[in-house]
Structures are given as structure tokens and as C-alpha cells.
Structure 1
Amino acid sequence: MTARPTGSEPDAPDGEDRHHMAEAEYPAVISVVAAGKLLGMGRTKAYRLAKTGRFPCPVLRIGSRYAVPVRGVRALLGYRDTHQCRKDRKG
């Protein structure tokens, strides 16, 4: 059994807590279906909004595939960018 971290990681650079370290493990982009689910919509609606340019956050078209930057979804949901949080804390 692996123990769960309970606070700051001892190896974390610059005193970053595990929350900030874990964000680096997330993908930079997710599928339009996954983004739609996070925003409470189904597959058909997510694709329709992406195709018409009305998806509520930025969507990238990569060949025949749609990709949604995670930062855009997080911003839409009210999460602050960790880089911005660090800047705010420093001054």
C-alpha cells in the first residue's frame, strides 16, 4: 500500500506544495468530449459548438480532431492559473 502525501512534498522545488506539482502531470489539451463533460454537455452538443466556433472556451483544430486547452476550461470554471497565483504571492 502506498502512503498518500499529507502536505508539502519534501523534494518539491521552491517549497511548491503537492497541488502545484500535480498540475504539471495533467495534459495540456483534452478532447472536446472530455471538456464538454466537464462543462455539463453531451458529445453531440460539444462537437456542434466546436464546429460552429461557439464552444465556451478556446478549441484547437488539429487535422480532423478538436483539442481543448485545459487552461481554457480551468479559467472558464474559475480556477486560477498556478503561474498567476505565484506572481500574486510574490508581490
Structure 2
Amino acid sequence: MTRPLGFAEAFDLPLSVDLATAARAFDISIGTAYRLVHLGAFPCLVIRVGHRYRVPTASMLVALGIEERPVYFED
């Protein structure tokens, strides 16, 4: 079993991620993710590219309620 995607990890993602990574972000299994995609019920935009699915990171973060990158003060 994979662990859920952490908050800090979410901000280090590329512009789009595979379905497995998106499933981790929503803390669901990959099987459930595929079922939701086929039902048109995945919680964010999913794009089919050939035989694979890609999820735009920005769309995923909005669906997770993370719309802005946190700002931290560092010396």
C-alpha cells in the first residue's frame, strides 16, 4: 500500500502527474481512481494521452483545496 501524498510533496510536482500520483494525493487506491475516471467522477480534470492518463497538477491542487503556494520566511 502506498502512503498518501504529503503537503510539501504536492508543491514539488511537475505540471502534470500520472493517475497513480493523483490517487495518492486523494488517498484512494489506483483501482478506485480508474473506476472514477471511467465513471467521469474523478474529483479533478483527467486527460487521456494515448493509453495513459495525466492529471494537471494545478487542477488537482484546486480540488484538494490547495490553491496557493505557502510562503515561508527563511534567513
Provide the TM-score with structure 2 as the length reference.
0.69
Task: Determine whether 1:48 maps to 2:48.
Answer: no
Residues 64-90 of structure 1, C-alpha deviations (whole Å, 9 max, x = no match): 1000010111101111246xxxxxxxx
Give the letter aligned to residue 77 of structure 1: L
Spell out the pairing of 1:29-48 with structure 2 (5 A cutoff): 29-48=16-35
SS of residue in 2 equivalent to 1:66 = strand
More helix by share: 1
Hey, what's the Cα distance between the residues in 2 that align with 1:40 and 1:26?
A: 16
Aligned to 1:16: none
Q: Which runs of 4+ in 1 moved over 2 A?
A: 23-26
C-alpha RMSD of matched pairs (Å): 2.0
Gaps of 5+ in 2: 1-9, 70-75
Q: Say which structure, 1 or 2, has more relative contact order (CA 8 Å, 6+ apart).
A: 2
Larger radius of gyration, structure 1 or 2?
1
Give the letter aligned to residue 78 of structure 1: G
Provide the TM-score with structure 1 as the length reference.
0.58
| Number of aligned positions between the proteins | 60
Kept after mapping to 2: 8 A contact 1:31/1:67: yes
Question: Identity rate of aligned residues, in percent?
Answer: 32
